[in-house]
Amino acid sequence: MRSFLAFLFGVAAVLATLLTVPAMWVSHNVANEDGYVAFAELIARDAAFQDALANALSENLVQDSVLPASLQPAAMAAIVRVANKVSDQPGFVTAWNDTQRQSHKIMLGSPGDLPAELDSSSRFAIDLAPLGTFVINQVNKELPFTIPAPNQAVVEINGAPQAQTLDRIRESPTYARNGLIAVGVLLLVALAFARRRSVAVAWLGLGALVAAGLLKVAASVGVPEILDRNTAPTPFAKAALDVFIGRANTSFDHWLVVLAVGGAVAAVVGVAGRLLTSRSGVA
């Protein structure tokens, strides 16, 4: 009976891990503002995304300005030209990080905490205003007229409302914390019921390896499905979705490697412990 209970609690721990690891990743890399900014920092270095970003900056910054129609083509061309070459200039990374920080606030922050001139969004969106201000400051040095810097330049990444998904992201720290507690308790109970704890540790390690494999399969199947179902309203939105999801997949893979390595170590330790106890005659 004890072995059966140990097995049940061990399986429950593995199932809880399948839910907890994604929740932890979302909590760390999306729900947390600093984590999101760090996660998104490398995205701006993608060459294909930079082209789409330059065009989006040009369209949004000029359309939202009060420039006369006769000046808009020159302004758009200058913004595209400058935006395509500023990625190596001092201040670009800071401006991009400020863009992501402001985007995080309008998507996941409390509306009451936003400045009066900024609006919250129920969709996935990027507020290009901080990066746009950086680019415009460079552009204005080259033009005989001045382009005003925007307070907000929100570009929707997904055309459909995402209020429920955004709420779940906000709640992911709670899911992650409760999941960690559940996994810890289930592991301890499984070990408490186990007749041979070294064997239980080995099986739990194998369970972690299985969980890592299942999560990898789920990500491999789920990511293409998300890309196929996305309702990106603009070429920039499509490019942003592609690069963000690709970055997420790579980042999540690193977490799965840690889980798999931890499981492998536990399995080896458990097997080694069982061999040592068998040689010493301990049942």
Dist CA 265 CA 261 (whole Å): 6
pLDDT at residue 186, rounded to an integer? 95
pLDDT at residue 245, rounded to an integer? 86
Confidence of residue 146 (pLDDT cuts 50, 70, 90): confident
What does the pLDDT look like over 2-48, one tens digit per residue?
878 888 999 999 999 999 999 999 999 999 999 999 999 888 878 88
Please report, for the chain, the start and end positions of each structural domain, with discontinuous segments joined by +: 2-29+164-276, 35-156
Dist CA 164 CA 226 (whole Å): 16
The more confident residue out of 282 and 199 is 199
**Burial call 191-217: b when 16+ CB within 10 Å, e when fewer:** bebbebbbbbbbbbbbbbbebbeebbe
Residue 71, pLDDT above cutoff 90:
no
Q: What is the mean pLDDT of residues 221-235?
A: 71
**Residues paired with 127 in a beta bridge:** 154
pLDDT at residue 273, rounded to an integer? 83
Tokens of 195: 């007749």
pLDDT at residue 282, rounded to an integer? 47
Confidence of residue 281 (pLDDT cuts 50, 70, 90): low
Residue 197, pLDDT above cutoff 70:
yes
Tokens of 109: 């922050």
pLDDT at residue 108, rounded to an integer? 87
In sequence order, what are the residues at sequence separation of 6 or more whose Cβ sits closer than 8 angstroms to the Cβ of residue 9?
A: 186, 187, 189, 190, 193
Q: How far is CA 8 from CA 1, 197, 204, in A?
A: 11, 15, 11
pLDDT at residue 283, rounded to an integer? 40
Q: Which of 226, 143, 129, 170 is nearest to 32 (CA)?
A: 170
Burial (Cβ within 10 Å: 0-12, 13-18, ≥19) of residue 65: middle
* Predicted model pTM: 0.87
Main-chain phi, psi angles of 73, to 5 degrees? -60, -40
With the C-alpha atoms ordered 151, 167, 160, 157, is the resulting torsion angle positive or negative? positive
The percentage of residues in the chain with a pLDDT greater than 90, rounded to a whole number, is 38
pLDDT at residue 116, rounded to an integer? 55
Q: How far is CA 131 from CA 55, 108, 128, 197, 236, in A?
A: 13, 20, 6, 56, 15
Residue 119, pLDDT above cutoff 70:
no
pLDDT at residue 121, rounded to an integer? 64
45-59, 77-91, 198-212 — most confident range? 198-212
Residue 185, pLDDT above cutoff 70:
yes
